[in-house]
Amino acid sequence: MNKDSYSLQEALLYSHKMTQLTKAIWKTIEKDWQRWVKPFDLNINEHHILWIAYHLHGAKISEISQFGIMHVSTAFNFSKKLEQRGLLTFSKKEDDKRNTYVQLTNEGITLFEETMNAHDPEKNTLLKASLPLKNIYGRFPEFQDMESIVKELYGEDYLDILERSTASIREEY
């Protein structure tokens, strides 16, 4: 990583453009997500925790924090709220006393599946905004450059978990 391999102007332009594009898209996703899960009395962090625990068939708090991109304390506190609602249980493993595992209860699984059934692609703003590209390419865009950046930022692990959760979606729908 040679400092001289880009000019300050290039750096600023790239950084500014990425800020404006990712903020724009993330805020849209966030708003849609909130609207989607609110009827289930869930916020997006809580739904993300259910999502991760469901698709990974149980998960460590550290995995939820990493893949959910939330502080460990946020992951723990929202998991605790879900536990109090009877949607998940905490446990330790015999051979791994340091990590706390989260496992959905039957109620948690049912609630999560209800949220998935309530997902209406017609109300998914991002999806609708991506249809013109799908019409051109014949499929939704793949964003491999973004994937490669995320790999640099969060490590190979992050993409492994993404792969496991997409495999789980492929099996179930």
Sites of contact with a second copy (CB under 8 A) = 1, 3, 5-6, 8-29, 33, 67, 69, 116, 119, 121-122, 124-135, 139-141, 143, 145-150, 152-154, 158, 162, 165-166, 169-170, 173
Nearest CA among 44, 24, 139, 67 for reference residue 130: 139
**Residue placing its CB nearer to a second copy in the complex, 25 or 109:** 25
**Residue placing its CB nearer to a second copy in the complex, 1 or 156:** 1
**Residue placing its CB nearer to a second copy in the complex, 97 or 170:** 170
Nearest CA among 44, 66, 36 for reference residue 153: 66
> What CA dihedral angle connects 158, 160, 164 and 167, to 10 degrees?
110
Minimum distance of a second copy from residue 100's CB (angstroms):
22
Minimum distance of a second copy from residue 134's CB (angstroms):
7
Minimum distance of a second copy from residue 5's CB (angstroms):
7
The Cα–Cα gap between 138 and 173 comes to 20
**Residue placing its CB nearer to a second copy in the complex, 103 or 124:** 124
Nearest CA among 28, 50, 52, 25 for reference residue 37: 50
The Cα–Cα gap between 121 and 169 comes to 15
**Residue placing its CB nearer to a second copy in the complex, 16 or 93:** 16
Identify the three-state secondary structure at position 88. strand
